[in-house]
Every structure is written in C-alpha cells, then in structure tokens.
Amino acid sequence: MRRTFKKSLAWRERAKNALVGGGQPHKQSNPPQPIMIAGAKGSHFWDADGNDYIDYLMGYGPMILGHAYPTVITAVANALEQGNVYNVGHTLEIELAEKLIEIIPSADRVAYFVGGSDATTGALKFARAYTEKDKVIRCGYHGWHDWCHSTRGHLAASAEATLSVGFNDIDALENLFKENPGEIAGLIMEPSGHDLPKENYLENVKSVVNSNDALLIFDEVKTGFRYALGGAQEYFDVTPDMSVFGKALANGFATAVVVGRQDIMDEVSDVWVAATFHGEVSLVSAAMATIAELEAKDGVEFMWKQGQKLLDGYKEITDRLGIDQARIAGIAPMPFFGLNANSDKESLFRRTFYEATLDGGLYLPEGHIWFMSMSHSDDDITKTLNVCEDALKLAKAKM
C-alpha cells in the first residue's frame, strides 16, 4: 500500500502563507513527495501523516549521534537550569575549547560562532586581517553569505574578491596565485566530499598556499567528527593553518568554531567577530556531551563500519543487477549512492527508484552526500539495502 501525504500537503499550503517562499528552498526540493516532518528519534523521523523513514540526511549532517539523543538533551537541560546567555565569559566555553584543542590537530585557539556560514565568514575575516590581503579562493560550499554567492540580492563588490578553484586541480590553484600575485589572503576548502583527494593533493595544496604567504583553511563543517574525531585533517594527516567546524559538533545545536595556530589567532584576537549568541550555554553543553559520547562509544569507528556496509552492499547489488547508471562515491562515514539521469529513460529510472525507496520507508538525499550516525543500526542497514534492491529491480523493469 502506497503512503499518502494528505496532511503534509495541507501543511505545505499553510507554509505558503506564513513562510517566505513557503520555506527554505533546500527543504522543499527532494524527494518529490511533499514530506513535512513531525518528529524524529535516533536514525528515524516521521512525517505529518505518520509515515516513518530511515534518515540518511540527518539534518544535512548535524545529527551525528542521532535525533533527540538522550545524553545531549539531558546535558543541555541541566546546563539551562543555570541560565543560557550571559555575554560574560563562562566556564563551559573554556572547557569545550580545551577539549577541541586536545583533539583537533590545527587547534591552538578557539573562536565561537553560530552556524557554518557565520564561521566560514569569520575565518576569512581572520585570514584577511592576518595577511593584510583582500582576495580569497574558495573550493566547496561555504554558506550563504555574500562573499561566496552570486545569487539575487548579493553584494557584487563582496563576491568580486572571491576566486574559485575546482577540487583536485592543483594546476588551477597554482595559476590563480600566478594571476593574482601578492593579493590572496588564503584558500578555504572542503578537504573531501563526493570525491576523495588524489594522492598528495592536500599536501601539495598546503605547499602552494603557504609558499605564496597565504593561509590554508579547511572547511570541516561536514567532515568534522566523521572522518576522525579530529576531522579530515587527522584522517589525511594534513594540518591547515585554520579550520572551521560545525554541524556534527553539537548534534543538532547550532554552534560552530574557527580554530587555528596560536601565532595566527593571537595576532587577530582584536578582530571584531562578536555576537550575542556566540558561546551560548546550550550550544556549548551540547557539543561537550556529543564529543563525550563519540569518545565513550567509539562513535567514529562505528559510523565507518556501518557506512562501509552500505557502500559494499550497493556495489554488490548494482554489479549483480547490471545498473550502469549507478554512482557510488564518498567514504564510509559520508557515503553516497546516486543514479545518473542523462536521458529520458534514465530520468524515469531515477524517479521510479526514489519514489519506491521513499514508499519503502527510506529518506535518501537525492544528489547529496549521505551522513551516517551512531543510531544507524544493523537492521537499518539491512532494510535500506533490501528496499533499494527492490526499487532498482522495479525501475529496471520499466526501462
């Protein structure tokens, strides 16, 4: 029996009259059915119609432990009994900063922010202040602020100082420095994603950037605490000058940090990046509880194990069924399975697959990297592969 979405549709109509654009675009795009979430627990959420799903988006990455994770909720509730925002320094800020310095290779000092876009913008402000240069290079997604977007409403003058380079393209990076001699403050890049860095790529990037008196900034908003507790920089053994961490840092609470070398961070300590909710108690306590749980239960190792089961399972299924348009990428804690749609027949195949998997109780981010969590059980993995195999067979039968 196919799932129905009557209540979700009704909520969507209400959203059109209450939220700008009916809600943020990225919350409406995929999958095609009109899901409106009513609640979540662990690796599952349920929609307004009561349909249950195994979640592989996990809030676009923050839910590294799982939705409504008990130890985090308890830690936040206990901390809030003594207040939330003081705008005077508090002890929990220091405790979390000391922990981050212990586990993140590039961390000698910590600056608090709220949200990834806030933090990546702060990192570039630090870099410009330290180098006294204006231009920056980006490689990846770094938020919605003007410096990294050219969509309607952006300030063109801000974006003009931002250059872009493709991932794994060291020659293009070198050319940007040659074309802009002495003008580039730094490169901010996601160290990994759908594609993994080629051999020695990150080491070569660091050499090129630093030899041009610029700073290397790793945007670990997605990779942090997933590839390793200290992020992709720990996993790949390449230490940048500064790093940005967010999302999974606090299991759904919106804190983010910029960390960096002592000499850099001490020199820019007077740069104005202050805000009322930077270092908010609820956010900091959530981060401390999240890290403690990851350490106590070997959470990173568990996500590697579960994600690898998915990757291996998808490869076995697609090879056996002869699914040529399948795309398997990423790495175990952030795997990816997708389908090409370069023709009408492939588009029909893809649409059939995603409709069938959603109907089977899976929420698979279409076109986006997946996120594993400590709550994705063996039963979740088994069901996911079984439902996907049935969906692929159904889609193949329509070709």
What whole-number distance in Å separates Cα of residue 124 and Cα of residue 364?
Answer: 33
The answer to whether residues 269 and 381 belong to one domain is: no
pLDDT over 80 (residue 2)? no
More confident residue, 247 or 367: 247
Q: Write the DSSP assignment of 70-128 as a string of letters.
A: HHHHHHHHHHHTT-S--SS--HHHHHHHHHHHHH-TT-SEEEEEESHHHHHHHHHHHHH
**Domain end point (choices 270, 296, 322):** 296
Enumerate the β-bridge partners of residue 110.
Answer: 259
* Same-domain pairing of 236 and 147: yes
Q: How many Å apart are CA 239 and CA 126, to the nearest integer?
A: 18
- In this prediction, residue 132 has a pLDDT band, given cuts at 50, 70 and 90, of very high
pLDDT of residue 365: 87
Residues 147 and 286 in one domain: yes
Q: CB within 8 A of 17, min separation 6: which ones?
A: none
| pLDDT confidence of residue 143 | 72
Say yes or no to pLDDT of 25 above 80: no
Same domain, 241 and 109: yes
φ, ψ for residue 395, nearest 5 deg: -65, -40
Q: What does pLDDT average to over the chain?
A: 93
What's the CA gap between 199 and 204, in Å, rounded? 9
Mean pLDDT of 211-235: 97
139 touches 302 (CB < 8 A): no
What pLDDT is attached to residue 276?
84
Under a CB-based contact definition with an 8 Å cutoff, are residues 186 and 131 in contact?
yes
**Closest among 89, 124, 92 to 260, alpha carbons compared:** 124
Residue 315 domain-assigned (yes or no): yes
Per-residue pLDDT of 61-119, as tens digits, reads 999 999 999 999 999 999 999 999 998 889 999 999 999 999 999 999 999 999 988 99
Peptide bond before residue 31 is cis, with ω within 30 degrees of 0? yes
**244 beta partners:** 219, 258
Domain identity same for 78 and 175: yes
For residue 65, being part of any structural domain is answered with no
Rounded distance, CA 328 to CA 81, Å? 46
Residue 30 forms part of a structural domain: yes
| pLDDT band per the 50, 70, 90 thresholds, residue 202 | very high
End-to-end CA distance of the chain: 23
d(CA 172, CA 329): 24
pLDDT (0 to 100) of residue 1:
61
Write the CATH number for 367: 3.90.1150.10
Going by pLDDT thresholds of 50, 70 and 90, the confidence category of residue 149 is confident
What is residue 144's predicted lDDT score, i.e. its pLDDT?
Answer: 75
Domain shared by 287 and 338, yes or no: no
pLDDT, tens digit, for every residue of 233-264?
999 999 999 999 999 999 999 999 999 999 99
The answer on pLDDT for 32 being more than 80 is: no
* pLDDT for 153: 76
Share of the chain above pLDDT 90, in %: 79
pLDDT of residue 226: 95
User: Quick one: 290 and 303 in the same domain?
Assistant: no
265 and 314 belong to one structural domain: no
pLDDT of residue 292: 98
Last residue of a domain, one of 277, 296, 315: 296
Q: Phi and psi (nearest 5°) for 143?
A: 115, -170
Q: What is the per-residue pLDDT for 24? A: 80
What angle do the packed helices 281-296 and 70-80 form, to 10 degrees?
A: 150
pLDDT at res. 100: 98
CATH code of the domain in which 185 resides: 3.40.640.10
Give the per-residue pLDDT at 398. 81
pLDDT-based confidence at residue 151 (cuts at 50, 70, 90): confident
- How far apart CA 227 and CA 239 sit, in angstroms, is 14
pLDDT for the residue numbered 110: 97
Q: What is the pLDDT of residue 76?
A: 97
Domain boundary pick from 278, 296, 314: 296
Task: Give a yes or no: residue 204 inside a domain.
Answer: yes
Q: With CA atoms as reference, report the closest residue to 220 among 119, 99, 351, 348.
A: 119
Most confident of 34-48, 196-210, 340-354: 196-210
Q: Which residues span the domain enclosing 261? A: 70-296
Asked which of 170-174, 273-277, 332-336, 360-364 is least confident by mean pLDDT, the reply is: 273-277
Confidence of residue 148 (pLDDT cuts 50, 70, 90): confident
- What pLDDT is attached to residue 307? 98
Residue 3, number of CB atoms within 10 A of its CB: 17
Same domain assignment for residues 158 and 205: yes
Residue 240: inside a domain:
yes
Angle (CA) 310 60 83, round 5°: 125
Residues paired with residue 242 on neighbouring β-strands, in sequence order? 217, 260
**Residue 14 shares a structural domain with residue 150:** no
Q: CA-to-CA distance for 17 and 32, rounded, in angstroms?
A: 21
Distance CA 312, CA 122 (A): 39
Query: Quick one: 381 and 282 in the same domain?
Result: no
Residue 189 and residue 74 share a domain: yes
Q: Do 208 and 177 form a contact (C-beta atoms < 8 A)?
A: yes
Is 245 contained in some domain?
A: yes
Residue 346 burial (10 A CB sphere; 0-12, 13-18, 19+):
middle
**Average pLDDT value for residue range 158-166:** 87
| Sequence-distant (≥ 6) Cβ neighbours of residue 154 within 8 angstroms | 146
39 inside domain: yes
**Based on the structure, what is the number of domains in the chain?**
2
Q: Indicate whether 138 pLDDT > 70.
A: yes
The predicted structure's pLDDT at residue 30: 56
Q: Is residue 1 part of a domain?
A: no
Band of pLDDT at residue 29, cut at 50, 70 and 90: low
